[in-house]
Amino acid sequence: ERVPVELSKGVNGLEKIILRETRGSSAEVYLYGGHVTSWKNEHGEELLFVSSKALFKPPKAIRGGIPICFPQFSNHGPLEPHGFARNKLWSIDTDPPAFPTNSSSKAYIDLILKPSEEDMKIWPHSYEFRLRVALGPGGDLMLTSRIRNTNTDGKPFTFTFAYHTYFSVSDISEVRVEGLETLDYLDNLLNKQRFTEQGDAITFEAEVDKIYLSTPTKIAILDHEKKRTLVLRKDGLPDAGEVDIANSGSICMYEMQKNIPPKMVWNPWDKKAKAMADFGDDEYKHMLCVEAAAIEKPITLKPGEEWRGRQELSAVPSSYCSGQLDPRRVLQGS
């Protein structure tokens, strides 16, 4: 019988938690950074990308997997890029508050991060950041973040946030992203100028670094070579509701929700990959970052208030229909 939760030693002796579902899927979470570094389906296929040159040496962040960006995304503020949560040692939360769940799975772990005196010097706020990482019975990977303002001086605080997910893909030139078409985006390669996506899907032929605004709660990453679709859902975010898939011929259409935090799409391509010490020169071909994030409209919490943001990832077999995703296959796998 599979042990659903196991504490183990990872790279360089860093502690990690291994989650296993009864059908064979698994995930690994490092206490360093509260960082998910592996997510495998029931066939043992890795669905996340971690660079072969990732250092696993604090205080350097782990390159790949799902880094947690808090309290700042990228360089959108005075702190170090992507904030400090991904560089801190988290603790196992042995007494988490009540947590509503639809799943009977026992493959989950609760982590918690609180500020140190060093943290308070650079970001003078008291908080509790609780993170649950869970595997569903079908192998879905779910991350739920709960951030509470515990300041005793009456002061609110403001932050930006992202699940900086690195997906493993067969070949970036064979991948397309659906669900972001016709949306406005900020292009970080052009000084954050605002544009509208014109294509029927996003494909990749050069470096991409875009922030898509007011995104749907569900998008799909189609990997033609692997005949696999990675589906990203997010909910529990400000004004996010349920989202329905509408079947219109062979086109996968998404009901759009307003005021939903944006998604970031990134691939460094060849020149930037070679300039990154913890990233292989050709590894850009096999990864794609699609990030559920709260960037454009930062989140403000008053003392005692809590924010919750949830991301659910699933992998389903897919076929192409008129060059696009066959929505029936996504429905069957959702």
Active site positions, annotated: 164, 291
Q: Which long-range contacts (CB under 8 A, 24 or more apart) does 109-114 make?
A: 109/5, 109/17, 109/19, 109/29, 109/133, 109/134, 111/29, 111/31, 111/34, 113/34, 113/85, 113/88
Cα separation, 194 vs 214, in Å, equals: 13
Q: In this structure, are strands 202-203 and 287-301 parallel, antiparallel, or unpaired?
A: unpaired
| Separation in Å, CA 310 to CA 135, 143, 171 | 13, 6, 28
Reading the block at residue 130, the tokens are: 């609780």
Cα separation, 48 vs 95, in Å, equals: 29
Q: How does DSSP assign 3-44, residue by residue?
A: -SEEEEE-GGG-EEEEEE-TTS-EEEEETBTTEEEEEE-TT-
Tell me, letter by letter, the H, E, C secondary structure of 77-137.
CCCCCCECHHHCECEECCCCCCCCCCCCCCCEEEEEECCCHHHHHHCCCCEEEEEEEEECC
Tell me, letter by letter, the H, E, C secondary structure of 152-198.
CCCCCEEEEEEECCEEECCCHHHEEEECCCCCEEEEHHHCCEEEECC
What DSSP element (H or E) covers 301? strand 287-301
What DSSP element (H or E) covers 270? helix 269-275
Amino acid at 103: S
